[in-house]
Amino acid sequence: MREVTPRSFPAIALVVIVIAYAIILLVVPFITIIQGAFEDGLQPVLDTFSHIDVRHALLVSFVLSVIALSVNAIFGLITAWVLVRHRFTGRRLFDALVDIPFVFATPIAGYATIVMFGRTGWFAPTIIPIVFAYPAIVLVKIFVSLPFITREIQPVLGTLSPDYEEAAYTIGANRWLTFRRVILPEIWTALLYGIVLTFARMIGEFGAVSVVGGALEGYTETATTFIFRALKDRDNTGGYSMSVLLCIISVIILIVMNQLKSRFADSAVRQSQG
């Protein structure tokens, strides 16, 4: 389709309506929450973040997300590889399974975790507690963002002909070298994109984390469960401040995603020329 400058009245009206819709829906709330956070000036916001429990909550969100992210990066990559390159019965079924977390209500995921690993659960832990502790938070974070990395890498791997690896094998590269020097550079952008999406999803997870974590202040409370508690306790400034901080992180994530996308586009052009 060819891009044109809108000139006729209906065309201009259409553009204006669409932009207005997006701004009212997406942008206005952004601005109002910043206003809300700074209603009483900068000091209350700074006070919020100087609180030790708040800092701890941020740290918990970040560290546990990084742990869960590394699991998903490694296994998501392997899963993409197996689903694209291997042929076995049930492959289509497993491929379809990957999407389930996209539509799985997150409190239900938390609930399933409790049923499995709770004190009276099916696989009740004996050594370390899982539910209402960090392990369960990591588990649900892995679950809710499981599809992203696999789904980003699959299509890119699909465009790589097996000749590509075989060429490296005949030249003498072993499997690891072939992966590192031949495959990885090709899927790198997709992997990064998947990682960024996964991280955004993990940092922002609330429903499942709140169910399995128990949101114990100074222990299992995360950035999102802190917001929930703050609002309940009528600490609006606290809740809004943390929301603004998460929004800022989201904007950074969005910009990174956008950069990666244009790299995607570049490599797509490269491939079509090559």
Of residues 167 through 206, those in contact with other proteins by CB under 8 A are: 167-175, 177, 181-182, 185-186, 197, 200, 203-206
The torsion region of residue 21 among left (phi > 0), alpha (psi -120 to 50) and beta comes to alpha
Stretch that binds other proteins, among 29-37, 44-52, 126-134 (CB under 8 A): 29-37
Cβ(139)–Cβ(130) below 8 Å: yes
Residues 213-232 that bind other proteins (CB under 8 A): 224, 227-228, 231
Residues 80-139 that bind other proteins (CB under 8 A): 81-83, 86, 88, 94, 96-116, 122
**What b/e readout covers 44-83, taking b as 16+ CB neighbours within 10 angstroms?**
bbeebeeeeebebbbebbbebbebbbeebbeebbebbbeb
Residues 31-50 that bind other proteins (CB under 8 A): 32-33, 35-36
Residues 236-265 that bind other proteins (CB under 8 A): 239-240, 243, 246-247, 250-251, 253-255, 257-258
Between 17 and 124, name the residue whose CB sits nearer to other proteins. Answer: 17
Q: What is the CA radius of gyration of the chain?
A: 23
Least distance (Å) from other proteins to the CB of residue 56?
Answer: 18
Q: How far apart (Å, rounded) are the C-alpha atoms in residues 48 and 29?
A: 21
Cβ(199)–Cβ(253) below 8 Å: yes
Between 45 and 197, name the residue whose CB sits nearer to other proteins. Answer: 197
Residues 133-162 that bind other proteins (CB under 8 A): 142-143, 146, 161
Cβ(153)–Cβ(77) below 8 Å: yes
Least distance (Å) from other proteins to the CB of residue 50?
Answer: 21
- Phi and psi (nearest 5°) for 125? -70, 150
Tell which one of 63, 78, 124, 216 touches other proteins (CB under 8 A): 78
Stretch that binds other proteins, among 41-49, 50-58, 130-138, 163-171 (CB under 8 A): 163-171
Least distance (Å) from other proteins to the CB of residue 64?
Answer: 15
Between 107 and 129, name the residue whose CB sits nearer to other proteins. Answer: 107
Between 15 and 63, name the residue whose CB sits nearer to other proteins. Answer: 15
Interface with other proteins includes 79 (CB under 8 A)?
yes
- The secondary structure of residue 183, as a DSSP letter, is I
Tell which one of 9, 26, 41, 126 touches other proteins (CB under 8 A): 26
Please report, for residues 10, 71, 78, 105, 256, the alpha-carbon distance to residue 182 in angstroms, rounded to integers and kept in the order given: 51, 23, 16, 39, 24
DSSP string of 73-119, one letter each residue:
HHHHHHHHHHHHH---TTHHHHHHHTTHHHHS-HHHHHHHHHHHHST
Least distance (Å) from other proteins to the CB of residue 32?
Answer: 4
